[in-house]
Amino acid sequence: MTRLGCALAVALLAAGCVSLTPAQQQGAEEVRALADATARAYGVRRIAVIVGDNVAGVGGTYRSGLFTITTSMLTSRHRDSIVAHELAHYLLGHDRPHRGTHRLEWQREQELRELDANAKAVEILARVRRLPEEQALSLVYDHLLSFNRLVTAGRTVIPWGHRPPCEEIADLLGRFPRHRAWSAGLDCAPGAAVAGVPAEALVSPPELGEGSAAGPLVHSFFSDRAPSAARPAAAAGPVAAPRRLRDFHRSRDTQVTLVLAVRPSEAPRTIVTRWYDADGVERRRVTRQLHAPAGAAEWTWHAHTVPMWELRPYPGRWAARVLVDDVAVGEYAFDLVP
């Protein structure tokens, strides 16, 4: 890779030329913690973590015992997958010289290293972050799929030493046959057709959910994004909310958001959503506080979001149960397809 230029170890960021926002600083600390935890789990020397922005188009790199991550990646939803991938290169000893004598042989050997690092990243996320293996696999799939979309749209190029991302995805999923029941239908899965189906063709908008006449909820529905924080809640009404969806595609959607219109209250409210898969297993719980004083608006938009990588391994009909101040106020369903 090219020389990093202005880059500093995370421990020295405050005194260096890389200026981080509070969110990026927290992200850098979490990356450092993941790297240190990985070193302890595998009994290897701690790796130096570098933050820098002089490698255009690259979110993270590993070379000669140094792991580099860009500032933008510190707050990305793909951060932990990319960190695990680069740590995998370290654990697998991928900074040793290539054995081939020609550039084409080096390319092929590096491609195999990248494939091995993808699979090792799943192991790291499961072992160190303690994710269920299916969610760890889904998380790595998530960032490879996102990169595939950029390549397909012509917004980036495939780096040297990598196969086309769809081929890397097929290799990755093929290495985990015990998860084939849920992964076989994903984009780029081994043997799957790669179709450019518009997201709009895969969803059907349900009726706007209505709350009870006296209860805390006025409306409720699922969407692929949260309402704009800058938009007044009730002034524009439900028409101004994000589009309402019932079906979510496990390869083409990045999240599921339960949007709630909550009546005002003098006291802050605690809103909990509990997310259950098709087998009735609770997979996620989201808790948030809402303070919407009476008189401020007829209702306030409130959203709970779960990233797709957490949901993807469990296709079928999901249910989200809503509790307001420990009182159950509704249960709402959506489908993960295909």
Express each pLDDT in 140-169 by its tens digit.
999 999 999 999 988 888 888 899 999 999
96-106: per-residue pLDDT in tens?
Answer: 887 877 777 88
Contact 324, 300 (CB under 8 A): no
Query: Which band of pLDDT confidence, cut at 50, 70 and 90, is reported for residue 336?
Result: very high
Q: Which of 38-42, 113-117, 253-257, 330-334 has the lowest mean pLDDT?
A: 330-334
Of residues 121, 2, 6, 109, the one with CA closest to residue 52: 6
Cα distance between residue 70 and residue 50, in whole Å: 8
Domain ranges of the chain: 7-183, 199-337
* pLDDT for the residue 219: 80
Tokens 């040793």 belong to residue: 96
Residue 30: both structure tokens together: 């979490």
pTM of the full predicted structure? 0.80
* pLDDT for the residue 240: 57
247-261: per-residue pLDDT in tens?
Answer: 999 999 999 999 988
Instruction: Say if residue 17's pLDDT is above 90.
Output: no
Q: Which CATH class is domain 199-337?
A: mainly beta
Q: What angle do CA 151, 169, 311 make, to 5 degrees?
A: 105
Tokens 């994000």 belong to residue: 242
